[in-house]
Amino acid sequence: MDMNIRKNKKGIIYILLAAFFFALMSFFVKEAGELPTMQKCFFRNLPAVFIAGALVAKSETGFRIRRESRLPLLMRVGFGFMGIVCNFWAIDHLALSDANMLNKTSPFFVIILSIFILKEKPTRFEWAGVIIAFIGVIFVAKPTEGLIDPAALVGLLGGFGAGAAYTFVRYLGRLGERPQIIVFCFSSGTCLLSLPFMLASYVPMQPWQIGSLLLAGAAGSCAQFSVTNAYQAAPAKEISVFDYTQVIFAALLGFVFFSELPDIYSIIGYVIIIGVAIVNWIRANENAQA
């Protein structure tokens, strides 16, 4: 029991670090100013290519990829690319906390997509959680004249892409694929996909913009490895709720550096979505102890 408690505490610390680093990544992406989204995407992922690549190169099996992992890896790269592009675009057009909250709808998309990819059937309780969470999304998105804000819609699409990508990460975990390979393939694949678009619309950058994007990449790399260590240390159902602290970190950074203050509707949306996550977490632990 003591060993499990220690592992859970370790997992919580890592997931809190991941939430902070993801919020920091979003901050540096926004701080880079008005640059094409694909350009931001390329430079954000470039440091991770070298960091993950070095870890893979030092491993016993090197860059060898399991045959059964190749298609799921491609799907993880494709959906992850869609998720990060939409998220970065939303960061430039929404308050930092709102963009992060919409991206954090990904766990609920995981529940839906797991039906088809992982053959996991959600319970009625989980379906209810998804529905209530999307009510929270409506408060964050604030539809006007019957139509959702385009920026919020893109942010929500980013949450879907991230959810699909995480579902394939779980699938790859079942296959026994190494975390370093998963991170390396995602980072290098995203750089390759964004490179043609970046070259077509490249905007010369000031040194501080390059620095901001490289810092975003370093923060993103730390976040990805923190997430990996977190879920290796403790079950997802016991620690995933702490990932929502990213919204709090993002709100604080947005307030201090960009003078962004969430309105009452966004705050209501945050409470609903985070509340659903907490209830799901409590129920999952009760079921595990039963």
| Two tokens, residue 206 | 């000031």
Q: Which residues pair with 147 in a beta bridge?
A: 144
Q: What DSSP designation does 147 have? A: B
Please give the backbone phi and psi of residue 147, each rounded to the nearest 5 degrees, phi first. Answer: -120, 140
In the predicted structure, residue 167 carries a pLDDT above the cut 90:
no
How many Å apart are CA 95 and CA 145, to the nearest integer?
21
Dihedral in degrees, nearest 10, Cα atoms 226, 95, 242, 138 = -130
pTM, full prediction: 0.82
How many Å apart are CA 21 and CA 15, to the nearest integer?
10
Give me the chain's average pLDDT, please: 85
Instruction: Please report the sign of the dihedral spanned by the C-alpha atoms of residue 123, residue 124, residue 127, residue 129.
Output: negative
pLDDT category at 244 given cuts 50, 70, 90 is confident
Please give the backbone phi and psi of residue 144, each rounded to the nearest 5 degrees, phi first. Answer: -120, 135
Dihedral in degrees, nearest 10, Cα atoms 74, 23, 284, 182 = 20
Residues 89-113: pLDDT tens digits? 999 888 888 888 888 788 778 878 8
Query: For 228-236, what is the mean pLDDT?
Result: 69
User: Is residue 247 a contact partner of residue 104, using CB atoms and an 8 Å limit?
Assistant: yes
Return all residues near 143 (Cβ < 8 A) that are at least 6 apart.
149
Beta strands (DSSP E) in the chain are none
Higher pLDDT pick, 267 / 194: 194
